[in-house]
Structure 1
Amino acid sequence: MAGRKQFDVDEALRRAMHVFWRWGYSEASIDRLTEGTGLGRSSLYGTFGDKSTLFRKSLQRYAQTYHPLYDQALSGPHPSPSAVVAAYLQVTLNRIADPTVPDGCLLTVSATQFPALDAEGQAMVRAMIDRLRAMLEQALLATGVDEQEAAELALCTLATNKSLAVLSRAGFSSEDLATVAAAAARIPGRPHE
Structure 2
Amino acid sequence: MARTKAFDVDTALRQAMDLFWQQGYEKTSMQNLLDHMGIHRKSLYDTFGDKYALFMQAFDRYQEMRTGEIERRVNAQTSVKAAIRCRFDMLIYREELPSQGCFIINTAVELAVHDEQIAQKVKDHFKQTEQRFYRQILQGQQLGEFSAALDALQIAQYLTNASVGLRVMVKITDDVKKLERIVDTTLKVLEE
Q: Give me the TM-score of the superposition, normalised by structure 1.
A: 0.80
**Structure 1 residues 28 and 79, CA, compared in 2 at 3 Å: closer, same or farther?**
same
The equivalent residue for 1:159 is 161
**Superposed, which structure 2 residues align to 1:138-153 within 5 Å?**
138-144=135-141, 145=147, 149-153=151-155
- Post-superposition CA distance 1:144-193 (Å, at most 9, x none): 1559622222222222222222222224333332332232223322x3xx
Partner of 2:79: 78
**In the alignment, residue 60 of structure 1 is paired with which amino acid?**
D
Instruction: Quickly say closer, same or farther: Cα 1:183–1:36, change in 2 above 3 A.
Output: farther
Equivalent residue, structure 2, for 1:179: 181
Quick one: percent identity of the two aligned structures?
Answer: 23
Conserved in 1, the CA contact under 8 Å of 2:98 and 2:171? no
Q: Output the CA distance in 2 between the equivalents of 1:33 and 1:148.
A: 48
Alignment partner of 1:25: what SS? coil
1:180 partner amino acid = I
Q: Deviations over 1:96-144 (max 9, x none)?
A: x314686211111111120233x33332222122111101110111111
Aligned equivalent of 1:40: 40
Partner Cα separation in structure 2 for residue 152 and residue 116 of structure 1: 29
Stretch moving more, 162-171 or 46-55: 162-171
Which residue matches 1:4?
Answer: 4
Q: Corresponding residue for 2:87?
A: 88
Contact 1:52 1:121 in 2 (8 A): no
SS at match of 1:6: coil
Task: Give the alignment's Cα RMSD to 1 decimal.
Answer: 2.6
Given residue 100 of structure 2, which amino acid in structure 1 is its aligned partner?
A: D
Task: Tell which deviates more after alignment, 56-65 or 148-157.
Answer: 148-157
Residue 113 of structure 2 corresponds to residue 115 of structure 1: yes
CA deviations on 1:45-102 (whole Å, 9 max, x unpaired) are 221101221111111111221112333344466354xx343121122223xx314686
What amino acid is the match of 1:116? Answer: H
Query: Distance between the aligned counterparts of 2:161 and 2:186, measured in 1?
Result: 10
Q: What whole-Å deviation, never above 9, does each CA across 1:20-44 have from its counterpart, x for those lacking one?
A: 2222223333233223322232222
Q: Which residue of 1 aligns with 2:29?
A: 29
Aligned residue pairs total 185
Structure 2: which 5+ residue stretches go unaligned?
Answer: 142-146
Q: Partner amino acid for 1:21?
A: W
* SS of residue matched to 1:67: helix
> Are 2:70 and 2:87, in contact at CA under 8 Å, matched by a contact in 1?
yes
